[in-house]
């Protein structure tokens, strides 16, 4: 019998479990470990609460968790409760699927002023991540700015722009809904260092902005190259750029505005004791398509600044780490130690991108584990004994179902669930 430990229960962890299960069948036991008693990583804590159809991918992961050879072991933090070296003693292979939960920094003066937050914090706050339950972002001013030109920046801007009524059917947590209901924000500026052709925004997410109840996207047609220049763009990007061009024709007649400010590079953040404005340098594209400062600066008012410029993985002791992710070659970090998903590749791609990634690493494991290593390791039994000796009480998949049922039972009308936002509340449901 082979024993595999997958650290992290997000998409990458689950696709890898699915692939290993297919490859080994009854000859393997696969444990998916997570620091929380609730699985699915960014499907729960990242994907926007008003995009419920995307969150439905977790049904596929449920099937994996319910299959005979797979177990979910929650409430265990690798690197704190148990080390990677200890896991390697207990399991035939260890696969790190820990994602990339930390915001990259802008690296400019003023970034630490109150009111400047990263998208992981803001997104975690409205999605019920326990680390950010007390974030309380300041929505009492009229201007906010979101730095970044990807889908996460769009999510943050859209959440700030929506009315309470538009969150019907979503699982946005109650504290965020209440705060956003009282929001005074009327202008949300979306800052990008480069132009419309360099965005990383997809058509579905952009298209939504044209149909919001109380907000309208505003764009300067002068930021676009001639329309013929769209022709060679990859089809998805071309569609996004066409949508952006269409925003220039929309009537600016709603109370809230989402201003696209392209060729705008933040150079410092200013304010008396809290953020009041971002100083931005106008840029142009150089020969290689990179942003080059022009020396011209201007100010963008903002009492809330959200940076959405990428993420990095948490280092784990004794695992080589560089450039925000684990050092790996095709997913292999060292003998019997692998990485998948954002911990392997960095924060790029969609949920689905993690599937081939997980399957590729499962194939590698199959090819690389020596056949003459008979796999006499203990797996979960040894892990549970070790955790017990340290006073750590792991949770299982049934525990998660109890938490989920309780969340569903306390949902407001029309919402699929009201999430608990604190670790201790999950444990309370389990009587701990
Ligand atoms: C704000 C946001 C919105 C997104 N929206 C979309 C979208 O609409 N559509 C789309 O296709 N993609 C979207 N994505 C991308 C998608 O979420 C990622 O591709 C995917 O979640 C990456 O999967 P992962 O398994 O590598 O990491 P994660 O989903 O982050 O999972 C990592 C897991 O590891 C656990 N973990 C971390 N460290 C430890 C540790 N030390 N011990 C134990 N467990 C640990 C975490 O608790 C977590 O459960 C979005 C991403 C973000 C940030």
Closest residue CA from atom 37 of ligand 1 = 98
pTM of the shown model: 0.97
Kindly report, residue by residue over 205-217, the tens digit of the pLDDT.
999 999 999 999 9
pLDDT in tens, 216-245: 999 999 999 999 999 999 999 999 999 999
Query: How many Å lie between the centroid of ligand 1 and the Cα of residue 222?
Result: 37
Percent of the chain scored above 70 by pLDDT?
A: 100
Cβ(261)–Cβ(190) below 8 Å? yes
Residues 6+ apart with CB under 8 A from 251: 216
> 370 falls in which pLDDT band (50, 70, 90)?
confident
Burial class (CB in 10 A: 0-12, 13-18, 19+), 335: exposed
What DSSP string describes 263-292? SEEEEEEE-SSS--EEEEEEEEE-TTS-EE
Residues 261-295 pLDDT 10s: 999 999 999 999 999 999 999 999 999 999 999 99
Q: Which of 47, 100, 319 to mutate to test the pocket of ligand 1 (most atoms within 8 A of CB)?
A: 47
φ and ψ at 110, to 5 degrees? Answer: 90, -5
Average pLDDT estimate for 364-369: 95
215: enclosing H helix or E strand: strand 215-218
Cβ–ligand 1 distance for 351 under 6 Å, the answer yes
| Token pair belonging to 77 | 């933090």
The answer, yes or no, to whether any atom of ligand 1 lies below 6 A from the CB of 79, is: yes
The model's pLDDT over 79-119, given as tens digits with 9 standing for 90+, comes to 999 999 999 999 999 999 999 999 999 999 999 999 999 99
> What value does the mean pLDDT of the chain take?
97
> Could you tell me the pLDDT band of residue 361, with boundaries at 50, 70 and 90?
very high
Cβ(172) – ligand 1 distance below 6 Å: no
Residue 8 Cβ < 6 Å to ligand 1: yes
CB 233 within 8 A of CB 197: yes
SS3 assignment, position 73: strand
Q: Is 310 in the pocket of ligand 1 (CB under 6 A)?
A: no
> Is pLDDT at 371 greater than 80 in this prediction?
no
Q: Is 342 in the pocket of ligand 1 (CB under 6 A)?
A: yes
Ligand 1 binding pocket includes 46 (Cβ within 6 Å)? yes
Distance from Cα 9 to the centre of ligand 1, integer Å: 9
């Amino acid at each position: 019998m082979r024993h595999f430990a997958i650290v992290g229960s997000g998409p990458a962890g689950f696709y890898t479990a699915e692939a290993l299960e297919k490859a080994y069948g009854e000859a393997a036991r696969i444990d998916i470990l997570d620091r929380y008693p609730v699985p699915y990583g960014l499907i729960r804590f990242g994907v926007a609460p008003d995009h419920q159809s995307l969150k439905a991918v977790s049904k596929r992961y449920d099937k994996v968790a319910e299959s005979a050879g797979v177990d979910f072991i929650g409430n265990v933090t690798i690197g704190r409760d148990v080390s990677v070296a200890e896991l390697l003693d207990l399991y035939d292979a260890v696969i790190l699927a820990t994602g990339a939960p930390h915001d990259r920094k802008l690296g400019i003066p003023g970034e630490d002023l109150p009111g400047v937050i990263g998208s992981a914090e803001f997104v975690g706050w409205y999605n019920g991540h326990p680390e950010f339950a007390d974030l309380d972002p300041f929505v009492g001013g009229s201007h906010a700015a979101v730095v970044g030109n990807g889908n996460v920046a769009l999510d943050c801007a859209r959440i700030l722009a929506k009315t309470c009524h538009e969150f019907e059917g979503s699982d946005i947590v109650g504290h965020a809904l209440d705060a956003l209901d009282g929001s005074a924000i009327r202008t949300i500026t979306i800052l990008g260092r480069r132009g419309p052709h360099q965005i990383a925004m997809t058509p579905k997410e952009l298209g939504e902005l044209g149909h919001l109840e109380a907000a309208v996207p505003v764009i300067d047609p002068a930021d676009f190259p001639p329309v013929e220049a769209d022709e060679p763009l990859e089809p998805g990007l071309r569609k996004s750029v066409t949508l952006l061009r269409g925003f220039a024709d929309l009537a600016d007649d709603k109370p809230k505005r989402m201003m696209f400010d392209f060729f705008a590079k933040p150079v410092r953040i200013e304010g008396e004791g809290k953020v009041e404005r971002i100083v931005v340098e106008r840029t142009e594209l150089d020969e290689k398509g990179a942003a080059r400062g022009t020396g011209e600066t201007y100010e963008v008012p903002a009492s809330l600044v959200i940076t959405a410029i990428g993420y990095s993985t948490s280092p784990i002791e004794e695992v080589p780490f560089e450039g925000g992710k684990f050092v790996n070659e095709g997913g292999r970090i060292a003998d019997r130690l692998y990485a998948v998903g954002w911990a392997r590749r960095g924060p790029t791609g969609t949920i689905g991108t993690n599937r081939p990634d997980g399957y590729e690493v499962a194939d590698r494991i199959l090819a690389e584990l020596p056949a003459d290593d008979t796999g006499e390791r203990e797996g979960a039994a040894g892990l549970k004994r070790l955790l017990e000796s340290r006073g750590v009480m792991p949770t299982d998949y049934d525990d998660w179902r109890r938490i989920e049922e309780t969340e569903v039972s306390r949902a407001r009308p029309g919402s699929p669930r009201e999430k608990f936002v604190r670790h201790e509340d999950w444990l309370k449901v389990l009587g701990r």
